Amino acid sequence: MRNKLIAVGGALAILATTLAACSSSGADDEEGGKPYVAIVSKGFQQQFWQAVEQGAQQAAKEYGARITFEGPESESDVDEQVQMLQTALSRDPDAIGFAALDSQASIPLMMQAEQADIPVIAFDSGVEDSDVPVTTAATDNKAAAALAAKRMAAEIGDKGQVAIVAHDQTSV
């Protein structure tokens, strides 16, 4: 439940920041002046991304915006995500929220967004090696890990052994 609240809160923050960064590109004329924000995530299958979408939909309603929310079938499908970002750019959004699977693969499209004056708000992992995103909304992983370690230590009485099993499908 806590992760869901964090994801929803993060989505609300992303959309609020995105709407604040919006400059009128004309895309909002289709819906009676509502700004249009395209959100391209890393996926939609995991509970985390479903909570992010729920938060984005809630924020869109609260802030009077239109959004699209999409992500690839798999968090290893970089090509599909890049195509989704290209499609989002072709729709001339007022802003884009983007969680890059592969920062390097997205840089040419980040440059396209910058040239079109479309603000990009990075979220989750950000977009490394690019100064195009106006901000990045992400977890402070070091602080989160410290908090988790303290909680785990308390749960096991400050003694014992702990194993960490982790993976990332696209990182080298």
C-alpha neighbours within 13 Å on the C-beta side of residue 60? 19
Answer yes or no: is 112 within a domain: yes
Answer yes or no: is 90 within a domain: yes
- Is the overall model pTM greater than 0.85, yes or no? no
Overall domain count for the chain: 1
At 113, which CATH number?
3.40.50.2300
Q: What is the pLDDT of residues 69-90, one digit of tens each?
A: 999 999 899 999 999 999 999 9
Tell me the two tokens of residue 111: 């440059």
Backbone angles phi, psi at 29, to 5 degrees: -65, -25
Answer yes or no: is 30 within a domain: no
Answer yes or no: is 157 within a domain: no
Answer yes or no: is 22 within a domain: no
Answer yes or no: is 127 within a domain: yes
* 3-class secondary structure, 100: coil
Q: What is the C-alpha separation between 128 and 82, in angstroms, rounded?
A: 15
Answer yes or no: is 29 within a domain: no
Question: If you ran DSSP here, which 8-state letter would residue 33 be given?
Answer: T
Tens digit of each residue's pLDDT, the chain (172 residues) = 455 445 545 555 656 655 555 544 444 445 568 899 999 999 988 888 888 899 999 999 998 999 999 999 998 999 999 999 999 999 999 999 999 999 889 999 999 999 999 999 988 877 777 777 888 887 888 898 899 999 999 999 999 888 888 765 555 4
Query: Residue 93: which domain range?
Result: 36-143
